[in-house]
């Protein structure tokens, strides 16, 4: 079950245009991680995932500046 949940999470990250960072030295898990390219999330699944409250471990304040491209945290994360 954990593998399927991880694959859904990785697939969602890919579909959002981000790059997942996967840390595994287990060859079987590395093979499973590559299986995320064999399928796509349904529109319904994507909408359900977007409803899950997100919490960021790093808010990104150091990338926000009135002189830079990201004036607010909202600008950075959108």
Q: Report residue 24's pLDDT band, with 50, 70 and 90 as the boundaries.
A: confident
Q: If you ran DSSP here, which 8-state letter would residue 35 be given?
A: G
Q: How far apart are CA 35 and CA 8, in angstroms?
A: 10
| Its pTM surpasses 0.75 | no
Helices 2-15 and 27-34: crossing angle, nearest 10°?
Answer: 50
Query: Who has greater pLDDT, 57 or 21?
Result: 21
In this predicted model, what pLDDT tens digit does every residue of 45-56 receive, in sequence order?
Answer: 999 998 998 777
Start-end of H helices in the chain: 2-15, 27-34, 43-50, 73-77
pLDDT > 90? residue 44:
yes
User: What is the total count of domains within the chain?
Assistant: 1
Q: How far apart are CA 18 and CA 20, in angstroms?
A: 6
């Amino acid at each position: 079950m954990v593998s399927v949940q991880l694959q859904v999470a990785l697939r969602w990250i890919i579909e959002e245009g981000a790059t997942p960072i996967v840390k595994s030295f287990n060859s079987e898990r590395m093979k499973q991680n590559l299986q995320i390219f064999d399928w796509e999330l349904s529109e319904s699944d994507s909408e359900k995932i977007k409803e899950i409250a997100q919490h960021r471990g790093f808010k990104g304040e150091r990338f926000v500046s009135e002189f830079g491209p990201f004036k607010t945290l909202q600008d950075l994360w959108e």
